[in-house]
Amino acid sequence: MLAEVRVATSEEAASFDGFVATRGRALWRSAWLLTGDSHRAEDLVQTALTRTYPHFARIGPDGFEGYVRTAMYRTYLSWWRRKWTAELPGRADPGTASGPDLDIRHDVRRALAALPRQQRAVVVLVYFDDLTGPQAAELLGISTGTVKSTLSRALAKLRTSPLLTDGSQ
């Protein structure tokens, strides 16, 4: 038996469009930090929005961002459970910064890309999206202890990353 597909009303669609217009850039930023690639970030956000759109009316605009972010992070983890091709981003997006700021952003992005997927997701959630350990755990569907240990391992790798050293060590 096929499930009945519910079509959103024009009011719901307008409200969803408003959500995407106001929060889309923040969602893309988190996706970009996860993927290290602007095109993959767009794909990730689009996939998460597509999967969550049918639930917008039920959840409402106030709780919808958390719902989308959960879908986005879980989608990210499932996409990249497949064999990784060891590609690292080669350059920063044009127009983001210049000079030393560009170098720092590029180094941070490369260091994040070198982390395993779950470690990268936890670092982005805790340090870039300002979530607490329990919030990150709930979003990723893992325990708070797993978030803490994963974050600890990720930070240890980042501290020793040759991509982030300033040459003074």
pLDDT in tens, the chain (169 residues): 444 545 555 565 568 888 999 999 999 999 998 888 889 999 999 999 999 999 998 988 888 999 999 999 999 988 766 544 545 555 545 444 455 555 677 777 888 888 998 999 999 999 888 889 999 999 888 999 999 999 999 999 988 888 776 544 4
Per-position DSSP letters for 101-138, written without gaps between them: HHHHHHHHHHHHHHS-HHHHHHHIIIIIS---HHHHHH
What is the pLDDT, as a whole number, of residue 86?
46
CB atoms within 10 A of CB 117: 16
What letters, b where the CB count within 10 A reaches 16 and e where it falls short, cover 60-86? Answer: eeeebbebbbbbbbbbbbeebeeeeee
Based on its alpha-carbon atoms, the radius of gyration of the chain, rounded to whole angstroms, reads: 18
d(CA 135, CA 144): 8
pLDDT of residue 167: 45
The pLDDT score that the predictor gives to residue 129 is: 87
Cβ 45 vs Cβ 27: under 8 Å: yes
Entry pTM: 0.61
